[in-house]
Amino acid sequence: MTVTRFAPSPTGWLHIGNLRTALFNYLIARKTGGQFILRLDDTDRERSKAEYVDGIKADLDWLGLHWDRIERQSDRLGRYAEMGDSLRAAGRFYECFETPTELDLKRKKQLNMGKPPVYDRAALALDDDAREKLRAEGRQGYWRFRLDLQRIEWTDGILGDLSIDAASVSDPVLIRADGQVLYTFASSVDDMDMGITHVVRGADHVTNTATQIQIIRAMGGTAPAFAHHSLLTGPQGEALSKRLGTLSLRDLRAQGVAREALLSLMARLGSSQPVALRADLDEIAEGFDLAQFGAAPTKFDAADLWPLTRAHVQALPLDAVADRLRDLGVPTEIAPAFWAVARENIDRLDDLTDWWALCRDGATPEIAPEDTDFVAQALTLLPPPPYGPQAWADWTAAVKAATGRKGKGLFMPLRKALTGRGHGPEMGALMPLLQRVRALEDRLA
């Protein structure tokens, strides 16, 4: 059975890049009838926050990316310690004492000599006495994994055949001096223990993958199949990392972006398939194929979410918006007519608020100076609301007869006088929904 996981660290809100990872893993499980695990990578106790855990769950819930199981790394510290002991016993963990400053100095020297800045394994040469001495000096040891200096090869689900020479990578630090288990280790133990079969994550993890394959094998496990999706850039190819904070899922949701728009875009963006609005996750899963995604950075433009959101909301049946209309205060009897009129004039459901306010409260009239007399004359021909379906046709015919105006010069000033704006629904359909006409009230006041 396929088992995938989405493994965010609860140290911030989920953003659009995280969504891509979550969605790909979710879709693989869904397509194959497998399991999708939400794994919280929360070994960093200082930065992990309960509010972010809640936020992650709320975002995934909203998107409909339901997980079969939730796992928290903080619940598994005993297991990591156990695996750490066994790797230590097998000679794959070794204790190091260099400070960050010392390591930095080593790196600079290597770079100056034109060498890759790979950890020189000096600590491997320490004997028990030397280690004791360092501890006596007050240094605390931390643990690195000794890589096998071979080529690490795998067939990546997106990038194809990859190979990384372990000699070009520093032995990773897996346990810090304060005992904190680092992500690379915890993730390897989890992927093995939880029977993860497929891992999709960002291309920034390619080097981690090489080391994790070795760590999992050293523990006697089988590495999952890996796939690395490209990273997102802004529309001009600029790095998105600094802007991701403003592209959090909760912000996009608060702006009124539809979940269907987000899912439809992110499930296809960067692939050879066209982006189109798809109704639900079944339709999105159908035709989803990792192999169709490219290695090149993927340009993401948040503006692309709006046409999809618009297409989605405009296609909604009355049923789907009935609660929302009720919350807005639209009386049930006129909800169908209001929805029919408003739907084509909204980009997102939140825009309904303004259209309903217009119907209920009327609008501050917009009257150009050169139209003042014309509008004043026209208003003498308009009875107060309520209006029937013929009201607009009757009124404009009467105004036309009285003033001789026609076409745009007739209709536009009247529209603006009644609605305060130059665009919007068919006036014939809108007028029966107008409960107040401020321009009339102003005239009569």
Cβ proximity to ligand GLU, 17 vs 425, nearer residue: 17
Q: Binder to ligand GLU among 2, 3, 7, 59 (CB under 6 A)?
A: 7
Distance CA 38, CA 302 (A): 26
Residue 38 in tokens: 């939400």
Query: Strand 142-145 relative to strand 173-175: parallel, antiparallel, unpaired?
Result: antiparallel
Give the rounded distance of the alpha carbon of 154 from its chain centre.
28
Cβ proximity to ligand GLU, 231 vs 429, nearer residue: 231
Cβ proximity to ligand GLU, 227 vs 263, nearer residue: 227
Distance CA 20, CA 269 (A): 9
Return the closest-CA partner of residue 428 out of 388, 401, 400, 378: 388
Distances 172 to 143, 355, 400, 437 between C-alpha atoms, Å: 8, 59, 82, 72
Per-position x/- string for 18-47, each x denoting binding to ligand GLU as judged by CB under 6 A, each - no binding: -----------------------x------
Residue 91, sorted as left (phi over 0), alpha (psi -120 to 50) or beta, turns out to be left
Residue type, 18: N
Residue 420, judged by CB atoms within 10 A of its CB (0-12, 13-18, 19+), counts as middle
Cβ proximity to ligand GLU, 245 vs 384, nearer residue: 245
Distance CA 21, CA 70 (A): 17
297 and 247 in contact (C-beta within 8 Å)? Answer: no
Q: In 203-285, where do the E strands start and end?
A: 225-229, 232-233
**Which range of residues in 2-10, 313-321, 425-433, 436-444 is near ligand GLU by CB under 6 A?**
2-10
**Which range of residues in 4-12, 59-67, 306-314, 394-402 is near ligand GLU by CB under 6 A?**
4-12
**Which range of residues in 5-13, 124-132, 300-308, 345-353 is near ligand GLU by CB under 6 A?**
5-13
**Which range of residues in 6-14, 29-37, 124-132, 270-278 is near ligand GLU by CB under 6 A?**
6-14
The answer to whether 201 contacts ligand GLU (rule: CB under 6 A) is yes
Cβ proximity to ligand GLU, 57 vs 106, nearer residue: 57
- Report which residue's Cβ sits closest to ligand GLU: 41
74 and 45 in contact (C-beta within 8 Å)? Answer: yes
Cβ proximity to ligand GLU, 145 vs 183, nearer residue: 183
Cβ proximity to ligand GLU, 6 vs 355, nearer residue: 6
User: CB 229 → ligand GLU: shortest distance, Å?
Assistant: 11
Residue type, 159: L
Residue type, 49: K
**Which range of residues in 3-11, 27-35, 163-171, 235-243 is near ligand GLU by CB under 6 A?**
3-11
Contacting ligand GLU within 141-200 (CB under 6 A): 183, 187
Cβ proximity to ligand GLU, 187 vs 211, nearer residue: 187
User: CB 152 → ligand GLU: shortest distance, Å?
Assistant: 16
Positions touching ligand GLU (CB under 6 A) are 7-9, 41, 183, 187, 201, 205
